[in-house]
Amino acid sequence: MAANRYRLVIGNKNWSSWSLRPWLAMRRLKLPFEEINVRLRLADSKAEIMKYSPSGLVPLLLDGDMAIWDSLAILEYLAEAHPDAGLWPADRRARALARCVSAEMHSGFAPLRNTCSMELLATNPLDSVPEDVETNVRRIIAIWRQCRGDFGNDGPFLFGAFTAADAMYAPVASRFRTYLPDLAKYGDDGTAAAYVATIFAMPEMETWTEGAKAEVASAT
Ligand SMILES: N[C@@H](CCC(=O)N[C@@H](CS)C(=O)NCC(=O)O)C(=O)O
């Protein structure tokens, strides 16, 4: 029997934006778990993932013999299993907005995701930004402003305290830092830049980043 209730199957920390989401939430909310690392972009990656995940994708959460794949489904599962952990905002209107923006992230922003795939450790500002990517960036800046403006008074995160919405947008903060360091070019009044800094000031992000560096070092 595993020492921890939960096991979380994740990909490389430098690349796996979807893995970062539940990992960050679980670390932040102090839900202990065993980490199972699968290396992506290798000949046997798919076979390794398929040992755990019927979708062939990571992340996947194991709770005993129960498997939950998909980042947002994992966050919802954890929110139900740990109702006092505050994964979603307590206020019903805030919670509805948090779910809207999380779902919008989960199902959208394909141009940004495709053009600016997460490479946590890289600094690679884009010379020119395709129009569809810029549209995504402007929309995300507007989302962050709305959440922070309407519900962010009690802390530096989208809804004040850390919630699942921050877990969903943390990889976007990484993409912005790598590819689009000057968000003022896209209409940011400073709110989005401050939010990127908030995400990277999290000790849990530092731990994830250290893990990414160690993985890169061990792969070379
Ligand atoms: N909708 C899924 C997306 C998961 C996903 O695309 N994961 C990528 C890594 S970030 C993956 O497993 N890729 C492995 C592959 O394509 O072989 C989620 O939210 O968890």
- Mean pLDDT computed over 152-157: 98
CATH 3.40.30.10 positions along the chain are: 6-85
pLDDT score at 49: 96
pLDDT at 2 over 70: no
The whole-angstrom separation of Cα 172 and Cα 167 is 10
Q: What is the pLDDT of residue 3?
A: 73
The residue among 30, 79, 92, 19 whose CA lies nearest residue 53 is: 19
Mean pLDDT calculated for residue range 31-47: 96
For residue 215, CA distances in Å to 10, 13, 73, 90, 167 come to: 13, 8, 27, 37, 22
Any atom of ligand 1 within 6 Å of the Cβ of 171: no
Residue 184 has pLDDT above 90, yes or no: yes
Q: What is the pLDDT of residue 219?
A: 87
156: which 2 tokens? 């530096």
Mean pLDDT within 157-169: 98
Where in the sequence of the chain do the CATH 1.20.1050.10 domains occur? 92-203
Ligand 1 centroid–CA 145 distance in Å is 28
92-203 carries CATH number 1.20.1050.10: yes
Q: Convert the pLDDT of each residue in 84-120 to its tens digit.
A: 999 999 999 999 999 999 999 999 999 999 999 999 9
Report the percentage of the chain scoring pLDDT > 90: 97
Q: What is the atom index within ligand 1 of the atom nearest the CA of 70?
A: 20
Q: 59 CA distance to ligand 1 centroid (A)?
A: 7
Q: Is the CB of 48 under 6 A from ligand 1?
A: no
Distance 3 CA to ligand 1 centre (A): 27
pLDDT in tens, 9-23: 999 999 999 999 999
Query: Ligand 1, residues 21, 57, 114: which to mutate, most atoms within 8 A of Cβ?
Result: 57
Q: What is the mean pLDDT of residues 140-165?
A: 98
Is any atom of ligand 1 closer than 6 Å to the C-beta of 59?
Answer: yes
Query: In the CATH hierarchy, which top-level class contains the domain 6-85?
Result: alpha beta
pLDDT digits (tens, 9 = 90+) for 63-86: 999 999 999 999 999 999 999 999
Looking at residue 152, what is its pLDDT? 98
Q: Within 10 A of 43 (CB to CB), how many other CB atoms are there? A: 6
Q: Which atom of ligand 1 is nearest to the CA of 15?
A: 10
Predicted local distance difference test score (pLDDT) of residue 53 = 93
Residue 153 has pLDDT above 80, yes or no: yes
- From the CB of 17, is ligand 1 less than 6 Å away? yes
Instruction: Reply yes or no on whether the pLDDT at 1 is more than 70.
Output: no
Residues near 90 by beta carbon (within 8 Å), at least 6 away in sequence:
none
> Is-contact 80 139, C-beta < 8 A?
no
Region 111-140 average pLDDT: 98
As a whole number, the mean pLDDT across the chain is 97
Say how many Å lie between the CA of residue 187 and the centre of ligand 1. Answer: 31
Q: Which residues of 102-112 are buried (b: 16+ CB within 10 A; e: fewer)?
A: beebbeebebb
What is the pLDDT at residue 200? 98
